[in-house]
Structure 1
Amino acid sequence: MTHSPSRRNVIAALGAAAAASYVPAAFAQKYPDRKPIRLIVPYAAGGSLDAMARELGTRLATVLGQTVLIENKPGASTMIGSQQVARSEPDGYTLLVASSSFVTAPMVYRKPLHKIEEFAPITQFGFDNHLIVVNPSVLPVNNLAELIARAKANPGKITCGTAGTGTSPHLEAEEFQQMAGIKLLHVPFNGSAPGLTNLVGGQIDMMFDAFTSAGPHIRAGKVRALAVTGANRLAELPDVPTVSESGMPQYVRGAWDGLFAPAGTPPDVIARLHSAVTEIIKDPQLKQTWARRGLETVQSTPQEFQRFLQQQVSITGKLVKDLSLQLE
């Protein structure tokens, strides 16, 4: 167990980690050469990040000429998987595929299982637009106005699932409640897949989740999308408005996705991995495939990703404080 670090210490440590982790890829000619690369996904199989990790893994195996294995390690709001990577040998053979919860979870818990400075950022590769979805059979509302009205009439009774306590969907739900002046009953899961199973089955009323995982259920008519949390409507759901269009103009949220190695990983290995992922992300076919799922591809150097993480630490820290979110 570790104690929650201050934002200043986290930012300083991130700067040191990134500065030591980027040199030209030409120095990485010997990597990888001896064993499979493991991509640790801190969520249950079947969710948005899991799908992205599997596509990245398949393409990384081709680019690097090395077997890439995907291992799902859900639990403790993604910190079980993160902790495993932090404790791994810093040799480039155990990597973490993480989302915004990588930053939020250590700030929400008093005794987090990992510290952000235990990792070397490699690159941000995506941004995940989220949705507010309901099971229309148990929560027959057609838009956010109806949802908010029903929630105000039944405070604390509408059940809202997320991918876990301290994850980005959880913070999105908490901020939504604060801005809408309502109270929902939070039901955390170990990833979006089990949450969606419960939503479709009627065990919970609604959920904040990614289009990647919720999309098939929306198309099948099993769940209804009320709003997009991001800045723009999704091409696949042109009739679904954003939250900001639905009366909450300041609400624009989503989740970033990125790749990390344990702190102390050789700079040439970081550079080789960054080069490989950048090559993959540039592929027009991948961009098109992800766009259909509400995903945006992102390219960043380790230094750019580190600066982005610094911003996220500051933003998330303020949000956690404003919402008084502190868990054991």
Structure 2
Amino acid sequence: MTPSIGRRKLMAMTATSLLLGLGARAWAQTYPGKKPIRIIVPYAAGGSLDAMSRELAVQLQSRLGQAVLVDNKPGASTMLGTQIAARAEPDGYTLLMASSSFVSSTIFYRKPLHKVSEFAPISQFANDNHLIVVNPTRVPARTLQEFIALAKSKPGQLSYGTAGTGTSPHLEAEEFQQMTGIKMLHVPFNGSAPGVTALIGGQIDLMFDAYTSTGPHMKDGRLVPIAALGGSRLAALPNVPTVAESGYPSYVRGAWDGLLAPAGTPNDVIARLHTAVVEAIKDPQLQSNWAQRGLEPIGSTPAQFTRFLSEQVAINEKLAKTLALQLD
């Protein structure tokens, strides 16, 4: 290749790159256009993450000036909906509402349907407090100590429901059993809502689940909380002690919630979505609603969320070794 031909080729490549870059920025500046934005929720409707997603969607719609739709895609312990989001066009019009199982499923399953690297983090927008909740007609225990004694007297007989195999409630329960020396029967569902329905109906004995899903059923006594899993008591349930203060100080658990886009989504679009999320969770009514349900707004940056996810991978890898749990 002669020098002149080489220079012409380099100039052409540079011009093409500049045009592509300018085109991407121009396109990002028009985002969102007339196309609705779809948020995939990998759980059944009616659960904790679904409720948050719908509240956040309303706030995002007003800030982005475009329709924001929630699309429930439960199945395969959240991996079905997550895989659909991963394969979507990286244009900012298909997003994923993720929770702790987004990471744990990639560690605990032998053949996970997605990778963490297939997504571009937008923001961790909240932390969700979890509880151990029982059906009072099936479980007479009203304190954690009473419950553990009951479970030890009936090894393998008490059934607990979760939002799915490999989800954070499932892992919380597995770790709790290992820590206390009890054995229970796991009954997974495609989200919190169907599990809560089964718990109220007496098909299962208890759940490890979010206050967002179970709280409304505590007022009429259909469900009874016996312990909070977080580092402090819930403001809405000041008389319910934590597992940590009930004799197990190292056990502090809960779930995180965040918004992601398919990898390759333009940075300008990610930044636009992040700004909208941060503005949304500052809404006074949304904050009031979340506080009543034990939710903590976060609003991390994409960079902070990326680091957080890396930390979660390390935590789950360590937990997988501790539990010696491998899922198919």
Normalising by structure 2, report the TM-score.
0.91
Q: CA offsets, 1:84-122, max 9 Å, x none?
A: 000000000000001000001121110011111100000
Q: List aligned pairs for 1:161-200, cutoff 5 A.
A: 161-200=161-200
Structure 1 CA distance for aligned equivalents of residues 317 and 247 of structure 2: 26
Q: CA deviation at 1:145?
A: 0.5
Q: What corresponds to 2:207 in structure 1?
A: 207
Number of matched pairs: 304
Contact 1:28 1:271 in 2 (8 A): no
Q: What corresponds to 1:95 in structure 2?
A: 95
Q: CA deviation at 1:283?
A: 2.1
Q: What corresponds to 2:138 in structure 1?
A: 138
Q: CA offsets, 1:52-89, max 9 Å, x none?
A: 00011111110000001110000111000000000000
Q: CA deviation at 1:29?
A: 2.7
Q: List aligned pairs for 1:1-328, cutoff 5 A.
A: 28-328=28-328
Q: What corresponds to 1:16 in structure 2?
A: none
Structure 2 CA distance for aligned equivalents of residues 281 and 142 of structure 1: 35
Structure 1 CA distance for aligned equivalents of residues 138 and 185 of structure 2: 15
Q: CA deviation at 1:282?
A: 1.9
Q: CA deviation at 1:285?
A: 2.6
Gaps of 5+ in 1: 1-24
Q: CA offsets, 1:164-206, max 9 Å, x none?
A: 0000000100111111111111110000000000000000000
SS at match of 1:219: coil
Contact 1:27 1:268 in 2 (8 A): no
Q: CA deviation at 1:28?
A: 4.1
Structure 2 CA distance for aligned equivalents of residues 112 and 309 of structure 1: 17
* Residue identity opposite 1:298 in structure 2: I
Query: Structure 1's 26 and 243: CA in aligned 2 closer, same or farther, altered over 3 A?
Result: farther
Q: CA deviation at 1:27?
A: 8.7
**4+ aligned runs moved over 6 Å, structure 1:** none
Q: CA deviation at 1:34?
A: 2.9
Q: CA offsets, 1:266-309, max 9 Å, x none?
A: 11110100010011112233222101001000021100001111
Structure 2 CA distance for aligned equivalents of residues 106 and 321 of structure 1: 14
SS at match of 1:186: strand
Q: CA offsets, 1:123-175, max 9 Å, x none?
A: 00000000100001011111111111111111111101000000000010011
Structure 1 CA distance for aligned equivalents of residues 33 and 166 of structure 2: 37
Q: CA deviation at 1:26?
A: 11
Structure 1 CA distance for aligned equivalents of residues 95 and 141 of structure 2: 42
| Largest Rg, 1 or 2 | 2
% identical equivalent positions? 68
Contact 2:123 2:258 in 1 (8 A): yes
Structure 2 CA distance for aligned equivalents of residues 271 and 26 of structure 1: 14
Structure 1 CA distance for aligned equivalents of residues 27 and 183 of structure 2: 54
Contact 2:28 2:266 in 1 (8 A): no
Which structure has more relative contact order (CA 8 Å, sep 6+)? It is 1
Contact 1:168 1:254 in 2 (8 A): yes
Structure 2 CA distance for aligned equivalents of residues 277 and 316 of structure 1: 27
Normalising by structure 1, report the TM-score.
0.91
Structure 2 CA distance for aligned equivalents of residues 259 and 27 of structure 1: 22
SS at match of 2:106: helix
Q: CA offsets, 1:213-261, max 9 Å, x none?
A: 1001111200100011001111111111111111111110000000000
SS at match of 1:311: helix
